[in-house]
Structure 1
Amino acid sequence: MNTIPTKKQNNNPLHGLTLQTILTELVDYFGWEGLAERIPVRCFASDPSMASSLKFLRKTPWAREKVEGLYGFMLREKRRES
């Protein structure tokens, strides 16, 4: 039985995180308004909710990539602040 070796993801800050966790941390850090300024999508700007945002992000790869990139930026900012 051959198994494919899995790569370690030591340098990947997203490894093991759910999209909901990432979005929750971004909203806590930037707020919905700040998130909408940085990623201009309707689900962040107009009557934002976690459920509608998660639904949109799961269906829209380009928006999810932007959210993941912003999460990386947020982590770097937090490190600089401490």
Structure 2
Amino acid sequence: MDNQQPNNPLHGIKLADILEFLVDYYGWEVLGEKIRINCFNSNPSIKSSLTFLRKTPWARDKIEQLYLKTKQK
């Protein structure tokens, strides 16, 4: 029962961890260029970005896809 989503590569990874990884890897400026979201371009912070991403499924999906693509490198 511990393995409820064996085919989901994001299972068990927190959104905050994904965002922190991407900010460390790309920085806010490049992240804002890769994914055009105001919370990355205008006074960015982890807290404000997490608030937006949790409320906006399409934006969260873009972040998750970029994370998976970046981790494959």
TM normalised by structure 1 equals 0.80
- What is the CA RMSD across the aligned residues, in angstroms? 1.6
Aligned to 1:61: 57
Q: Once the two structures are superposed, what CA deviation does each residue of 1:16-61 show, in whole Å capped at 9, x if it has no partner?
A: 0100000000000000011101100100001100000000000000
- Which residue in the other structure is 1:44 paired with? 40
Q: Does 1:25 align with 2:21?
A: yes
Q: What code does the residue aligned with 1:43 have?
A: C
TM-score (norm. length: structure 2): 0.90
Q: How many residues align?
A: 72
- Runs of 4+ aligned residues of structure 1 deviating over 6 Å after TM superposition are none
Q: What is the percent sequence identity of the aligned residues?
A: 56
Determine the C-alpha separation between the residues in 1 that align with 2:52 and 2:5: 29
Q: Over alpha carbons, which structure has the higher Rg? A: 1
Q: Does 1:73 align with 2:69?
A: yes
Alignment partners' CA distance in 2, 1:69 and 1:8: 17
Residue segments in structure 1 that go unaligned for 5+ positions in a row = 78-82
Tell me how far apart the structure 1 counterparts of residues 44 and 38 of structure 2 sit (CA, whole Å).
8
Shift of 1:14: 1.1
